[in-house]
A and B are shown apart, each in its own frame.
Chain A
Amino acid sequence: MSDASAAQPQLRVLLAKLGLDGHDRGLKVVARILRDAGMEVIYLGLRQTTDSIVAAAEQEDADVIGLSMHNAGHMTLAPAMVKAVETAELDTPVVVGGIVPVQDVEPLLAAGVAAVIGPGTSAEQVAQTIRDAVASAQAD
């Protein structure tokens, strides 16, 4: 068991708040959950742009980008992030967490978001969703 996990490279997760939204409680909790789950967390914090996130993802060789959204801007901002990643010719999956009404999940997935993590998700599910998003991106 320990041999198998030691053989696996440590996942590098980039976490950021895109735009003006300052609600960072959830993202900080997720950062600690993922760190406890053995991942390396690159925490960019508040007031990031799609450009600053793409630049950091390239520089840090991130396996996945996690965005936290609480201000109802997700339908505009999340697809913009996906597009910025594609434009930069990266294949880094984008996972969105926070306040996303269930009706918006399908359209976000259709727009290229890898997964949406809603409120009340357990720590284990959060970590597993991140692992799955990376695995599925690498399989493509």
Chain B
Amino acid sequence: MSDERPGYDEWRERYEASALRDGPFDTMSGVPVEPVYGDAPYPGQYPYTRGVYPSMYRSRLWTMRMFAGFGTAEDTNARFKDILRNGGTGLSTAFDMPTLMGRDSDSPWAMGEVGRAGVAIDTLADMEDLFADIDLSGVSTSMTINGPAAIILAMYVAVAEKNDVAPDQLAGTIQNDIFKEYQAQKEYIYPPRPSVRIVTDMIQFTSEHMPRFHPVSISGYHIREAGSTAAQELAFTLANGFAYVEAATAAGVDVDEFAGRLSFFFNSHSDFFEEIGKFRAARRIWARWMKERYGATQERSMLCRFHTQTAGVSLTAQQPEINIARVAIQALAGALGGTQSLHTDSFDEALALPTEKAARIALRTQQIVAHETGVANVADPLGGSDYVEWMTDEMERQAESIFAHLDDLGQGSMLEGVYAGIENGYFVGEIADSAYRFEREVNSGDRIIVGVNAFTDGDDDDKELLRIGAHVEEYQRKRLDDVKLRRDSAEVARTLAAVTAAATAPEENVMPAILAAVKAYATLEEVVMAMESVYGTYVEKAII
């Protein structure tokens, strides 16, 4: 049964050793198909261009991980239980804007924003409600938060402990990618260097106590949404990844001890082949750099495993139903690009958080891709196409030229290069230029966006949207007042002072002090301020 093709036998052996899901792996008409076609390197073989695992979706389909969160913790808890009842195994939490910025619901900054774009978390009491009656040892939880990520992670650990679930049983991901905040999403609190110190403390803490938890999800999604090109998304994201690797190794953690728990998050936009080339190039570049530049020896450290979300920015407010078609095409690109998990956007998200119906259609869309199209039968089915291979090389070429620029800026350090690019406005400038170029093309009609600058008939104003009432804000403030009345304020003051002390001592890890403070029901903002008194805040230069 030996095959002449180099590398094939080695791949076949590993494929045969993989647990497979139930077949049959054949076409709709009954034609049996091979798990992979073409030449080496095969999926699961360095540099992993064709996929991170030898059997890819024949072992396990991508995780259908839908992001949810709105209103109070109880509201979102109900949505979580719904997801679990419907067969979901992963939860993904969206926080509201004040929480993402480390502000309590009673802060003047929170006005109008409490519970609007996600769930409001002020204290451990809210986190207890959010995960009430959910067995945290049996689910994996993704939490999309960055600036105050350390505090939210501490709250998650504290809730689990109260339910007799030890930190080493917790599985999940916290986004915690602070670099892209300065570059694109703008949800930073402290200046870059102290923020990265907190990130490395979290990498260390999870390495020691939470081996099943991913401490950083290095995210290009927001860079793309802010207007970058595909190649910029690819390059800035991987450069940020290299920077975290340099920061953690400089703090004394061995590269193979944490690199395997780094994961990525990419956008899937509408230019089908460009996206697929981008995903393939990401795997190849990460593997090469981890092996050659950072001396990783474990295979896991070289694998670029990533989550994908369809492009929110591509959704049109006009004729919103046609977004279902966009999402389907973008989801297909994610699957053909070998993603490990996928969130499909809802068609009504150009205007508001999704209604339940729209969210269900989005999930059904990726279920169609997974179960009806046959794309999950064969790994990297487009590998070997001259166009796709050229596009993969082209994405890599553009990314390498950006890495060279950053390496130069940092005088041989990608970490310093990323800091420099943040400080001198390189990232925001490049992204704004790309966004404006795209806008000009749409405005001139050179680039067609269906429903916006062409084929505009058929838009009607009768759009059903999810509305979040102002009552959430009132409710949440009252709840916060109650918690403040019930807690031991001396203990709060003592633990907050300890957070400040830990923040002042670079050789200490801030996580244990933060954990003690949240257990005393210190609020999110109180813990943020305890560190802000040491680190200060970051203010972006206002440049167009």
Decide whether A and B are members of one complex.
Answer: yes
Q: How far is the CA of A24 from the CA of B227 in the complex (A)?
A: 10
Q: What are the residues of chain A within 8 A of B372 when measuring CB–CB?
A: none
Decide if B112 touches A76 in the complex (CB within 8 Å).
yes
Would you call B271 an interface residue if the criterion is a C-beta within 8 Å of the partner chain's C-beta atoms?
no
A14-38 Cβ-contact flags toward B at 8 Å (1 or 0): 0000011111110011011101000
Q: Mark out the residues of chain A between 103 and 123 whose CB falls within 8 Å of any chain B CB in the assembled complex.
A: 103, 118-120, 122-123
Q: Given known contacts A29-B439, A99-B350, A119-B317, is B185 in contact with A71 (CB within 8 Å)? A: no
Q: Which residue of A lies closest to B118 (CB)?
A: A71
Q: Mark out the residues of chain B between 96 and 123 whose CB falls within 8 Å of any chain A CB in the assembled complex.
A: 97-98, 100-101, 103, 109-113, 116-117
Decide if A71 touches B113 in the complex (CB within 8 Å).
yes
Would you call A88 an interface residue if the criterion is a C-beta within 8 Å of the partner chain's C-beta atoms?
no
Q: Which residue of A lies closest to B317 (CB)?
A: A119
Decide if A21 touches B317 in the complex (CB within 8 Å).
no
Q: What are the residues of chain A within 8 A of B541 when measuring CB–CB?
A: 45
Decide if A28 touches B350 in the complex (CB within 8 Å).
no
Q: Which residue of A lies closest to B451 (CB)?
A: A120
Q: How far is the CA of A80 from the CA of B436 in the complex (A)?
A: 30
Q: How far is the CA of A32 from the CA of B429 in the complex (A)?
A: 13
Q: How far is the CB of B314 from chain A (nearest CB, A)?
A: 12
Q: What are the residues of chain A within 8 A of B97 when measuring CB–CB?
A: 19-21, 71, 73
Q: What are the residues of chain B within 8 A of A46 when measuring CB–CB?
A: 186, 540, 542
Q: How far is the CB of A96 from chain B (nearest CB, A)?
A: 13
Decide if A71 touches B116 in the complex (CB within 8 Å).
yes
Q: Which residue of B lies closest to A73 (CB)?
A: B112
Would you call B60 an interface residue if the criterion is a C-beta within 8 Å of the partner chain's C-beta atoms?
no
Decide if B316 touches A19 in the complex (CB within 8 Å).
no
Among candidates B225, B542, B544, residue contacting A32 with C-beta atoms closer than 8 Å? B544
Would you call A84 an interface residue if the criterion is a C-beta within 8 Å of the partner chain's C-beta atoms?
no
Q: What are the residues of chain A within 8 A of B468 when measuring CB–CB?
A: 72
Q: Which residue of B lies closest to A21 (CB)?
A: B97
Q: How far is the CA of A96 from the CA of B446 in the complex (A)?
A: 27
Q: How far is the CB of A119 from chain B (nearest CB, A)?
A: 5
Decide if B544 touches A41 in the complex (CB within 8 Å).
yes
Would you call A139 an interface residue if the criterion is a C-beta within 8 Å of the partner chain's C-beta atoms?
no
Q: What are the residues of chain A within 8 A of B100 when measuring CB–CB?
A: 20
Q: What are the residues of chain B within 8 A of A47 when measuring CB–CB?
A: 539
B433-447 Cβ-contact flags toward A at 8 Å (1 or 0): 001100110010000
Would you call A75 an interface residue if the criterion is a C-beta within 8 Å of the partner chain's C-beta atoms?
yes
Q: How far is the CB of A45 from chain B (nearest CB, A)?
A: 3
Q: Mark out the residues of chain A between 27 and 76 whose CB falls within 8 Å of any chain B CB in the assembled complex.
A: 28-29, 31-33, 35, 41, 43-47, 71-76
Q: What are the residues of chain B within 8 A of A99 when measuring CB–CB?
A: 317, 350-352
Q: What are the residues of chain B within 8 A of A24 when measuring CB–CB?
A: 186, 226
Q: How far is the CB of B226 from chain A (nearest CB, A)?
A: 5
Decide if B461 touches A76 in the complex (CB within 8 Å).
no
Decide if B112 touches A19 in the complex (CB within 8 Å).
yes
Decide if B111 touches A76 in the complex (CB within 8 Å).
yes
Q: How far is the CA of A29 from the CA of B439 in the complex (A)?
A: 7
Decide if A25 touches B112 in the complex (CB within 8 Å).
no
Q: How far is the CB of B375 from chain A (nearest CB, A)?
A: 32
Q: Given known contacts A20-B97, A71-B113, is B463 in contact with A101 (CB within 8 Å)? A: yes
Decide if A45 touches B351 in the complex (CB within 8 Å).
no
Decide if B540 touches A25 in the complex (CB within 8 Å).
no
Q: What are the residues of chain A within 8 A of B436 when measuring CB–CB?
A: 28-29, 32
B87-98 Cβ-contact flags toward A at 8 Å (1 or 0): 000000000011
Q: What are the residues of chain A within 8 A of B448 when measuring CB–CB?
A: none
Q: What are the residues of chain B within 8 A of A102 when measuring CB–CB?
A: 461, 463
Q: How far is the CA of A20 from the CA of B99 in the complex (A)?
A: 10
Q: What are the residues of chain B within 8 A of A73 when measuring CB–CB?
A: 97, 111-113, 116
10 contacts between A and B (CB under 8 A): A19-B109, A20-B100, A20-B110, A21-B113, A24-B186, A25-B435, A28-B544, A35-B544, A72-B116, A76-B470
- Listed in ascending order, the chain A residues whose CB lies under 8 Å from chain B are 19-25, 28-29, 31-33, 35, 41, 43-47, 71-77, 80, 99, 101-103, 118-120, 122-123
Known: A29-B435, A99-B352. 4 other contacts (CB 8 A): A19-B97, A45-B542, A46-B540, A118-B317
